[in-house]
């Protein structure tokens, strides 16, 4: 944590700072530290899982798997911590491998960065399920921090049936 903070304090968009942010995020999500994870996002951040057959779609035009604004994302976190969230109680064990991190564009205090992900999900007695895909992040520099302004997880799977629900934060 301290190492992450030190590096993030530079608040520069470079491979190190962005990689630290993504690895820190993966660690929080895998540890189910969901409130802390929310702290990595801006107050007006969005989280998207677009349709597999139309990853570039606009959530106002096409049905997404997940299209959360901040009010809904906060509610999602409340839900994920509730024992009545049957899909995630007990919650999945996930293991995220984040790689191929690239900074695509920097524009003042904003940047776009991409990364590949493999998320292994284990739940109950089911065989493990592997969610493969890539992230597209829009990041913002807020004071000495890098924060996530938009987070899009694009799945490679042709269909979702084999993956089951996307009931955890992907």
Partner 1 sequence: MVENSVDDYHLLATHSTWLNYMRNSGVNIQPPKGSGLLLPTKGFGKDLGNGHLTTDNPNFRGRPVAKWISVYGEDAKADIDQIRSELVKRLGDGRAARVADTNRNLSIFPNLIINDGSAVTVRFFYPIGPDRMRVTAWALGPVEETEAQRARRLYAFLTFYGPGGFATPDDVAALEAAQQGYQAYREVPWNDMSRGMAKGPDEEQLHTDEGHLRVFWRKWSEMMEKRGV
- The site for partner 1 (CB under 8 A) is made up of 49, 59-67, 71-72, 75-76, 78-79, 82, 84-88, 160-161, 163-167
Closest CB 107 distance from partner 1, rounded Å: 26
Say whether 99 sits in a helix, a strand or coil. strand
Pairing state between β 41-49 and 145-155? parallel
Q: Do residues 30 and 169 make contact, with C-beta atoms less than 8 angstroms apart?
A: no
Q: If residue 117 lies in a helix (H) or strand (E), which one and from where to where?
A: strand 110-122
Closest CB 82 distance from partner 1, rounded Å: 5
Cα 99 to Cα 110: distance, rounded to the nearest angstrom: 21
Short-list 168, 23, 19, CA closest to 94: 168
Q: What radius of gyration, in Å, describes the C-alpha atoms of the chain?
A: 16
Residue whose CB is less far from partner 1, 23 or 64? 64
Residue whose CB is less far from partner 1, 129 or 138? 129
Residue whose CB is less far from partner 1, 31 or 78? 78
63: left (phi over 0), alpha (psi -120 to 50) or beta: beta
Cα 117 to Cα 99: distance, rounded to the nearest angstrom: 6
Residue whose CB is less far from partner 1, 85 or 103? 85
Closest CB 87 distance from partner 1, rounded Å: 4
Closest CB 50 distance from partner 1, rounded Å: 11
Residue whose CB is less far from partner 1, 77 or 106? 77
Closest CB 122 distance from partner 1, rounded Å: 15
Cα 101 to Cα 113: distance, rounded to the nearest angstrom: 7
């Amino acid at each position: 944590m301290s190492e992450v903070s030190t590096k993030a304090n530079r608040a520069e968009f470079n491979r190190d700072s962005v990689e630290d942010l993504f690895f820190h995020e993966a660690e929080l999500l895998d540890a189910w530290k969901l409130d802390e994870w929310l702290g990595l996002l801006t107050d007006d951040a969005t989280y998207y899982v677009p349709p597999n057959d139309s990853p570039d779609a606009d959530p106002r035009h096409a049905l997404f798997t997940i299209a959360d604004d901040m009010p809904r994302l906060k509610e999602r976190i409340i839900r994920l911590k509730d024992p009545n969230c049957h899909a995630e109680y007990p919650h999945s064990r996930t293991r995220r491998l984040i790689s191929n991190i690239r900074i695509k564009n920097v524009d003042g205090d904003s940047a776009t960065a991409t990364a590949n992900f493999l998320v292994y999900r284990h739940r109950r007695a089911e065989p493990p399920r592997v969610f493969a895909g890539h992230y597209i992040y829009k990041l913002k520099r807020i004071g000495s921090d890098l924060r996530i302004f938009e987070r899009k997880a694009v799945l490679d799977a042709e269909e979702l049936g084999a993956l089951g629900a996307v009931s955890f934060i992907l």
